[in-house]
Amino acid sequence: MRIAQQILADSAVIAVVGASRDPNKAAHGVPLQMQRHGWRIIPVNPSVDELFGERAYKTLADIPHPVDLVNVFRPAADAVQVVRDAATIGAPAVWLQLGIVSAEARRIAEEAGMDYVEDRCLAVERAVNALTRLT
Instruction: Going from the first residue of the chain to its last (135 residues), give the mean pLDDT of each consecutive group of 10, the final group possibly shorter.
Output: 91 97 96 95 97 97 98 96 98 97 97 97 90 72
Chain CA centroid to CA 20, Å: 13
The C-alpha atoms of residue 97 and residue 99 are separated, in whole angstroms, by: 6
What's the pLDDT at 17? 98
Give CA–CA dist 113/91, Å, rounded.
Answer: 10
* Nearest-5° Cα angle at 91, 86 to 92: 130
pTM: 0.95
Give the end-to-end CA distance of the chain in Å, rounded to a whole number: 27
**Quick one: pLDDT at residue 15?**
98
What is the distance between the alpha carbons of residues 108 and 104, in angstroms, rounded to a whole number? 6
